[in-house]
Amino acid sequence: MNFPFLTLITFIPLLGAVVVALMPGKHERALKLVAVLFSVPSLVLALIAWLLSAQAAGEMQLLEEAVWIPTLNAYYRVGVDGISLPLVFLTTLLTTLSLFYSAYTIKKRVKEFFALFLLLETGMIGVFVALDLILFYIFWEVGLVPMFLLIGIWGQPQDRPQYSAIKFFLYTLVGSVAMLLAFIAIYLTTGTWNILQIPSLKPLAGNPALAIAAFWAIFLAFAIKVPSWPFHTWLPDAHTAAPTAGSVVLAGVLLKLGGYGMIRILLPFFPDLFRQFAPWIGVLALISMIYGALVSMAQWDLKRLIAYSSVSHMGFFMLGLVAAAASLDVANPVLNSRAIALNGAVLQMFNHGIITGGLFFLVGVIYERTHTRDLKAFGGLSAKMPVYYGVMLMTALASLGLPGLAGFISEFMVFRGAFALIPTYAIIGIVAIVLGAAYILWKIIQHVFLGEFSEERWQKIFNPAHWHFSLDMARFEVITMAPLLFFMVLVGVYPAPVLNGINAATTALLAGL
């Protein structure tokens, strides 16, 4: 048995959650410190694992396997490849940053917050590393619960956090129970829960009707999580209500669970069905992209705007996935096109995590100071908060896909694949890019940062008595953003290190369908 990387990465946060939960609640500083420290080992290990495994990431790495429930043929089986490694790393990174950021901003019910957050991390990482359907499902649901509480308890009262929380919970639950039935059906025909093994056993091949039902059931679960139009309406509410760190992780990681599931489970299990239904899913992707962008454009609430932009951006992901699934040809150059599309999709998830996570942090920056997210309440802030302007500008530009920053690379690859395989969709989808520029520059940059700074208006929303750090981005906020900015530039300028692993894994995946 090698060094149990994945087990440690997954369960150290859980240990942390238990430790934090058992600590006395009075010493808030100590609690925060312990929580942050418990999230660091996972981050470090995830980075090491990523670096170690990137070369041969076409295959599952760091496998661990142990019998778990023999009668059920369920195993504790974890492993990562180039698709999951970046996402695991993303999870640990965003969690650590969120905890660090929250250490400064969370004031109520500190102990519960940090314990729940660490629990959440375990659930999220678990989904990315699980290679057994039962294990996958358990982790899937484990992540649901803490997030539900994070939204409900620490949400802003004016945003109806409880409503948002239960909406989030119910939506996800609807999808996941449907998925559970489909998993059971798959298990009944294949006799295994092994995610790697099932594709070769052609699940439900003998029962087309059931196969279609299972396909859509699983799709529903993941599409809700992604979220694809029209299953997206939980997202703006949840994002708006959640505390900053919650939004970050929600956008940065939770949405990726759905995307990851589509790639790891839906596509390999039902490649033929996926290809058959690709036109329909593609339409959903397009609607998500354009609709999300349009609705973003009409928002006056900064956080909702970014929430809807997530719908749009995850639409890009879906488009890439659909392109990759639209053909089963494994000969070059079709395989290359498919691989590029899927690379783009995976990288889009990673980038979206970095970028939108960053954007939510940045919304938090202004919200902590002013307690408003109304775009009409700001204006001219770039004169007052130049560093904030710079960081926000860069993140926003990454989000709209400016070449040289991360977002562009994945969009480029998605469209590169889409133009080769599903050109009509690509042509329509391109509109979303223009709209993306419009809502980001027009709404975010122009309304918040440009224009005339009015001291009078500022006095109304900013109360110095409630803010103890510097007016421009405080040091902890800069530190929080720094790693994200680093990755935006790294991926944007020289994506090969990140993409090598992804590419190896997607190529292997597609070639094996």
Partner 1 sequence: MTLTQLLVLLLPELVLTLTALVVLGLDMIWRNGSWSQRFLLWIALIGSVILIAVTVLIWPLTGTGGLPIAFATGKDFGGDQVPMMALDPLALFFKLFTALVLILVLLASGDYVRVRIRFRGEFYALILFGGLAMMLSAAATNLLMIYLSLEFLSITSYLLTGYLREDERSTEGAVKYFVYGATASAVMLYGFSLLYGATGTLDLAGIATVLMGGMVPVHWLVYPALIMVLVGLGFKIALVPFHQWAPDAYEGAPTPVTAFLSVGPKAAGFAVLMRLLLTALPGFQLDWIAVLAGIAIVTMTLGNLVALWQSNVKRLLAYSSIAQAGYMLIGLVALAPEAQSWTTGLNGLLLYLLAYLFTNLGAFAVVIAVENHAGSAQLDAFAGLMRRNPFLAITMFLFLLSLIGIPPTAGFVGKLFVFGAAIQRQMIMLAVVGIVNSVISVYYYYAIMRQMFFGEAVDTSPFDEGPGLRVAVGVAAVMVLMMALYAEPFIRLASESVSLLAASF
Partner 2 sequence: MEFIFNLTPLIPLFPLLAFAIIVLFTHRHNRLSSSIAIGGIALSTALGWTLVLATILSGEHAWAEGWQLRVPWLPAGTTVLELGFAVDGFTAAMLFMVPFVCLMIFIYSQGYMKLGQPDQDPRYARFFAYISLFAAGMLGLVVARDLVLLFISWEVMGLCSYLLIGFWSFRKADSEHHIDAAQVVRARQAALKAFITTRIGDVLLFSGIALLYSYTGTLTFRELFRPETLETLQAISLLGMPAVTVIALLVFGGAVGKSAQFPLHVWLPDAMEGPTPVSALIHAATMVAAGVYLVARTLPLFIAGFVVADAPALHWVAVIGAITALLGATVGLAQDDIKRVLAYSTISQLGYMMMGLGLGSLVAGIFHLLTHAFFKALLFLSAGSVIHGVEHGAHIAAHNGHGHGEHFSPNDMKIMGGLRHRMPRTFVAYLAGALALVGIVPFAGFWSKDEILAEAFHLWRADGTLNLPFWVWLAGTLGAFFTALYMGRQLGLVFWGEPRHAAARHAHESPSSMTVPLIVLALFALLFGFVNAPFLGNPLHHLMGNVHEVSEVVHAEAIPFNPTVAGISTVLAVAGLLLGWSLYRNYRAGQVEPFQAALGPVFTVLRNKYYIDDLYQWAIIRPAVWLANFCFNIDDRWIIDPFVDLVGAAGRAASDIARVLDSGVIDRWFVEGTAQLFNAAGRWLRYSETGHVQNYLLVVAVTILLLLGLYLYF
Binding region for partner 1 (CB under 8 A) = 68-73, 112, 134, 137-138, 141-142, 144-145, 149, 152-153, 161-162, 166, 169-170, 173-174, 177-178, 180-181, 184-185, 187-188, 210, 213
Q: Specify the residue, 143 or 358, whose C-beta has the smaller distance to partner 1.
A: 143
Backbone phi and psi for residue 196, each to the nearest 5 degrees, phi listed first: -80, -25
Q: Which of residues 303-362 bind partner 2 (CB under 8 A)?
A: 304, 332-333, 335-340, 343
CA distances from 119 to 115, 116, 180, 358, 459 (A): 6, 5, 22, 22, 40
H/E segment holding residue 69: strand 61-69
H/E segment holding residue 63: strand 61-69
Q: Minimum distance between the CB of residue 406 and partner 2, rounded to whole angstroms?
A: 12
* Residue 451 in contact with partner 2, rule: CB under 8 A: yes
CB neighbour list of residue 259: distance below 8 Å, 6 or more residues apart: 222, 225, 226, 314, 317, 318, 321, 345, 349
Cβ(512)–Cβ(90) below 8 Å: no
Q: Return the residue of 3, 280, 442, 486 that touches partner 2, per CB under 8 A.
A: 442
Rounded to whole angstroms, the Cα distance separating 502 from 496 reads 10
Q: Return the residue of 158, 454, 463, 470 that touches partner 2, per CB under 8 A.
A: 454
* Residue 233 in contact with partner 2, rule: CB under 8 A: yes
Q: Specify the residue, 1 or 455, whose C-beta has the smaller distance to partner 2.
A: 455
Q: Count the site residues for partner 2 by CB under 8 A.
A: 74
* Residue 512 in contact with partner 2, rule: CB under 8 A: no
Rounded to whole angstroms, the Cα distance separating 342 from 317 reads 8
Q: Specify the residue, 39 or 247, whose C-beta has the smaller distance to partner 2.
A: 247
Give the SS3 label for residue 405: coil
Q: Specify the residue, 179 or 355, whose C-beta has the smaller distance to partner 1.
A: 179
Q: Minimum distance between the CB of residue 172 and partner 1, rounded to whole angstroms?
A: 10
Q: Return the residue of 21, 283, 450, 461 that touches partner 2, per CB under 8 A.
A: 450
Q: Specify the residue, 15 or 402, whose C-beta has the smaller distance to partner 2.
A: 402
Q: Specify the residue, 95 or 240, whose C-beta has the smaller distance to partner 2.
A: 240
CB atoms within 10 A of CB 451: 14
Backbone phi and psi for residue 194, each to the nearest 5 degrees, phi listed first: -70, 115
Scanning 96-104, 112-120, 246-254, 442-450 for contacts with partner 2 by CB under 8 A, the matching segment is: 442-450
Scanning 181-189, 262-270, 460-468, 503-511 for contacts with partner 2 by CB under 8 A, the matching segment is: 503-511
Angle formed by the axes of helices 302-325 and 271-297, nearest 10°: 150
